Amino acid sequence: MQISAIVTAALAIALTTLPASHYAQAQTPATGLPVPVAQALAQAGIPETSAAVYVHEIGAERPLVAHGAERALNPASTMKLVTTYAALDLLGPAYMWNTEIYGTGTLAQDVLNGDLIIKGYGDPKLTLENFWLLLRNLRARGVREIRGDLVLDRAYFAPEEFDAARFDDQPTRPYNTGPNALLVNYKAVRVQFIPDAETRTVRLAVEPQLPQVQIVNNLTLDNAACGDWVARLKLESQGNSSNARLAFTGNFAQSCGERVRHFSVLGHQQYTLGLFTQLWRELGGSFAGGAREGEAPPGARLLASAQSQTLSEIVRDINKFSNNVMARQMFLTLGAAGAGAPATAEKSNSVIKQWVISKGLAIPELVLENGSGLSRIERISARNLGLLLINAFRSPVMPELMASLPLAAVDGTMRKRLANADVAGQAHIKTGSLSGVRAIAGYVLDAQGRRVAVVFITNHANAHNAQPVQDALLKWVYSRQGDECCRPRR
C-alpha cells in the first residue's frame, strides 16, 4: 500500500486502542520502582517524581513497571524510534532516495553549453564519497566542460529559515545543520589532529579542502594527559554563509594520538559549489561558473543519477549513532511522500500522527518538531513509547528496527557501557541526551530468554547523573526472576 493510501485510511478508521478501563488496570502493576533503580536515583540526586519508567515483557498482559509512565516528557533522541519505525513501515526497508543531474542547452564533444542542475530528493547520506561517485558517473557519460552555472534544485523540501545557533549556540557543530533536499556531505569539514613528536607540532589534515574555508593552526603540543581533549582546544570561528575562518589555539596532548572533529561553517550553496568545483577539477573536468538556487526546467536533459543506500541501512546509522541531521531528512521525507512535495514539518507531523492511529495506538501527548529529538518541545510518555516498541516488535519491520539500535557494550552509543555486566550484548537500546534530559528505550533479552521492552526518561537538572540509573534498570530487567518487581510505592 502506498504511504498516501495508508494516511487516508488512517483518517477513516476508528481508534482501535484498548478501552480506558484496561489501560487503567495495566498502568498499575504491583508496586513502584525496582529497588536497585530507586537506590540509583537517590544517589544521582534525581527525585522519583522526575523519572518515568516503563517495563513490559513482550506478550504479557500487564507491564512489570509503570512508574510515572503517563507523563509527557522530553525524550531527547529516543524520539528517533518514532520517526524510524514510521519510515520503515510507511516507506519500506528497501526505499531509496534519488539524486539527479540535468543539463540545459546542448551537449557536444564533451562540452555542455548550458547550466548543470543537481536535483535532490532529501538523501540523508549523500556523503563526499557518494557525491564523488555521482560526478564520476557524469564524467563517464561524456561531460567534461560546463560553460554555464551550477543550479541547485532543492524544491523537494520547502525552504525555511534555519538558525544553526538557536538550539544551543553551537552553530559549527554538524548536528545543528539544517535539513535540505540537496544535503551534500552534511555540509561538514573534517579536521584531523595529528601530533608529531619529533617536531613537537600538531598537524591539521582537512577534508575537503575548500577555498572558502581558511584554517589557522596555532596549537601547542604538550605531554599532559589526554582527558577532555576537545575542551582544551580553543576555537575561534568567523565568517558567513560564503566564507569562513577556523582558528585553533590552545593545547593538544601527544597522548591523545590522532583525533577527528567535524565542523559546519558554510551555507549549503557555497559548500556545494566549493566541493563540486574541487571534485570536478580532480576528475579532469572544467567549470568556471557560479552557483544559484533554481529548479530543473521542463525539457532539461537527464545526464546522470544515483540512488542512496536503502532505508534499512540509513535507519541503522540514525539509531546506532544518533544522527540528528539524517533523522531530520527522514522526517521531512515522510511529509513529502505522504502529503506531497514540497515537504514541511507540518506535513510530516500530520503523516506520523495519522500513521500512529493506523497502527491502533493512541498517543495524544505526542509532540513532534523535527523527529530527531534535538528539540526542547518534543514530547511523549514512557508508557506510549513502550507500547510503540511492543507494536514494532509485532510488525514485519521488527528485524530492521531492532538491528538498528545500539547493542549494549558492543556498538553505537552503547559501545562503552555495561561491558562487564551480564546484560552486555543482550540489550538493543536507543539512548537520548540533552541538557536536563536523559533517556533510553529499546529491548532486553533477559536471562530467561524473554524479550522485554524498556523505557526510562528523566527530565531534571541532575539528569546528567542518570547513566548509573539506566544501567541499574537494564541489569535488573536482565537478571530478574519470574515476576519479581519492586519495593512498595511510597
Which pLDDT does position 12 carry in this prediction? 41
- Confidence at 235, pLDDT banded by 50, 70, 90: confident
Provide the pLDDT confidence category of residue 236 given band limits of 50, 70 and 90. confident
Q: What is the pLDDT of residue 349?
A: 98
pLDDT in tens, 158-169: 998 777 777 787
Would the pLDDT of 488 be above 60?
no
The answer on pLDDT for 270 being more than 60 is yes
How many C-beta atoms surround the C-beta of residue 147 within 10 A? 15
Share of residues in the chain with pLDDT > 70 (%):
92
The answer on pLDDT for 21 being more than 70 is: no
Which residue is associated with the grid cell 524544491? 155
Q: In what order do the strands lie in the sheet with 286-287?
A: 106-108, 111-113, 145-146, 286-287
Per the prediction, the chain carries an average pLDDT of 92
How is residue 222 written as a grid cell? Answer: 604538550
pLDDT of 28 > 70? The answer is: no
pLDDT digits over 99-119, tens only? 999 999 999 999 999 999 999
* Residue 125 φ/ψ, nearest 5 degrees: -140, 50
Which tens digit of pLDDT belongs to each residue from 171-222?
888 888 999 999 999 999 999 999 999 999 999 999 999 999 999 999 999 9
CB 363 within 8 A of CB 380: yes
Terminal CA-to-CA distance of the chain, rounded, Å? 50
Identify the helix (H) or strand (E) that includes residue 107. strand 106-108
Cα–Cα distances in angstroms (integers) from residue 245 to residues 192, 210, 220, in the given order:
16, 11, 19
Which pLDDT score is estimated for 16? Answer: 37
C-beta separation of 259 from 233 below 8 A: no
Cell 524479550 belongs to which residue? 451
Mean pLDDT throughout 224-232? 93
- The pLDDT, as a whole number, for residue 72 is 98
User: How many other C-beta atoms lie within 10 A of the C-beta of residue 281?
Assistant: 11
Which is nearest to 269 in space by CA: 286, 293, 294, 237?
Answer: 293
Burial-class residue 467 by CB neighbours within 10 Å (0-12, 13-18, 19+): middle
Residue 486 pLDDT grade (very low, low, confident, very high; cuts 50, 70, 90) = low
- Predicted TM-score of the model (pTM): 0.91
Count of alpha carbons within 13 Å of 264, Cβ hemisphere only? 23
